[in-house]
Amino acid sequence: MNFSPNITLTGTTLPVMESFYTLQGEGAYQGHASWFIRLGGCDVGCVWCDVKDSWDASKHPVKPISDLVAEASAHPGRLAVITGGEPLLHDCGPLTIALQEAGFRTHIETSGSSPLSGSWNWICLSPKKFKAPLPEVLGQADELKVVVYNKHDFAWAEQHAALVSTTCKLFLQPEWSRKEEMTPQIVDYILAHPQWTLSAQVHKFINVP
């Protein structure tokens, strides 16, 4: 389990774009029943982001953490994924502690560009060229998931793979709008570099959130 030294118990509300029960479609926990909480707010600005509506936190309702945990607990799965936007723009300590006390595993999907907060069972780091990940997040990552938009991203992925721990799982994922072109290149790359694994955004293929 990964614990951030920045956990505080101040603040009991968060801006939430959406929350929903579905299958995790990406990475190491692909196919697992998961409760997703998508927090509002992002300062990374990926040009190909598929949830740009999440960027402005002020557009989304502020919800009590107690309500978020109650909503999650209404479903049988006990894996909670905190995503965004960029969730580390917020203090994730109170939310993750409350979820863990309710019996949930807590996972985060982050660019790693803001200081780490929260109590995490799994940290999925998806670094972006638009704002570099912080060393403290690189060192704590359980999973490195690199979105591949063009062939130059393979070298960029290797640069970040050299910065994470030796136990961190490595994934290459085609950017969705370029999947037809990039997926074959990723397959070839993984065949030559088997330390990497394909992440294929299965949820989009099976049409679930």
Q: How many domains does the chain have?
A: 1
| Mean pLDDT (whole number) for 112-125 | 97
Q: Between 46 and 23, where is the model more confident? A: 23
* pLDDT tens figures, 65-103: 999 999 999 999 999 999 999 999 999 999 999 999 999
Q: Give yes or no for residue 8 having a pLDDT over 60.
A: no
- Cβ-Cβ contacts under 8 Å for 87 (sequence gap 6 or more): 39, 108, 109, 110
CA 186 to chain centre: 20
pTM (2 decimals)?
Answer: 0.92
CATH number for the domain spanning 58: value is 3.20.20.70
| Mean pLDDT (whole number) for 35-55 | 85
* pLDDT tens figures, 138-176: 999 999 999 999 999 999 999 999 999 999 999 999 999
> What percentage of the chain reaches a pLDDT higher than 70?
95
Range of the domain at 179: 2-205
The pLDDT assigned to 3 comes to 42
